[in-house]
Structure 1
Amino acid sequence: MPEQPPDFLAHRVGDSVAVAVRNLTAGPARGAHLDDPGTIEVTVASDVPLGHKIALTDIVAGADVVEYGVRIGVASTDIATGDYVHTHNLRSARWHSSVA
C-alpha cells in the first residue's frame, strides 16, 4: 500500500509552525520537514484550513514563532502543540517591538 501524503509541511527542522497542505480536522496528523527525511506526528486541536499554520511545539506568549528558520511573528497568547496558529494568537514580527 502506498504511503499517504503528509498532512502538513515544515520548511526547516527547528521551525515552531508548519503549513497545512490540506484542510485538517481535529485529531492525529502526520507531516514532514522539507529539509529532513523523517516524519512529524501532531494531534491537531481544532480544524486548520489549507495553507494555514499549525504549532509543532508549545509556544509561550511573547515568544518568537519560527518558520523558514526565521522569526515570522510573536505569540500573543500561549500556543499549545497542535493548535491552529493565526491572527488570534500570533502578531507579525514586522511591527512587533519589545518596547511598549
Structure 2
Amino acid sequence: MASSRPDFLAHRSGDAVAVAVRDLEPGLVRGGYLDGDATEEVDLKNDVPLGHKVALRDIRAGEDVIEYGVRVAIASQDISRGDYVHTHNVRSARWQNSVA
C-alpha cells in the first residue's frame, strides 16, 4: 500500500483473516500483506475495532481460520468475506486436536 495507509493488514498471503489497523466502519476498505506487495479490497459488512479481524474470504462453519499461515481458530458458523471475525463466529483452535 505505497500510496495510502492500509485499513487492515494480513500477516501472510493465503491468510483467511486480516487485522484492522484502525477502527473500521462498513464499506470498502483496503489492506495488504506483510509478506509481499499484494493489496486487497474488501466490502466490510460490520464495524471492526482496531486490532480485531476481518474475513478476507468466505469461511464455512467447521473450517479452519488461517492467520500467520497457521490454524488459529475454527469457524463456529459460516463467515462471509467482509464479516467481523471474533468470538461470536469462531472458537479457539489452541486446545483442539489437529484435523487429519
Query: TM-score range with shorter-chain normalisation?
Result: over 0.9
1:28 maps to amino acid? L
Contact 1:55 1:81 in 2 (8 A): yes
Aligned: 1:58 with 2:32? no
Q: Give the Cα–Cα distance (whole angstroms) in 2 for the partners of residues 60 and 97 of structure 1.
A: 19
2:4 aligned counterpart, secondary structure: coil
Contact 1:74 1:96 in 2 (8 A): no
Q: Give the Cα–Cα distance (whole angstroms) in 2 for the partners of residues 93 and 81 of structure 1.
A: 20
How many residue pairs were aligned?
A: 98
Q: Identity of counterpart residues, as a percentage? A: 64
Q: 5+ residue gaps in structure 1? A: none
2:4 maps to amino acid? Q
Q: Give the Cα–Cα distance (whole angstroms) in 2 for the partners of residues 96 and 62 of structure 1.
A: 12
Hey, what does 2:49 align to over in structure 1? 49
Runs of 4+ in 1 over 3 A off after TM superposition: none
- When normalised by structure 2's length, the TM-score is 0.93
Q: CA RMSD in A?
A: 1.6
Q: 5+ residue gaps in structure 2? A: none
1:24 maps to amino acid? L
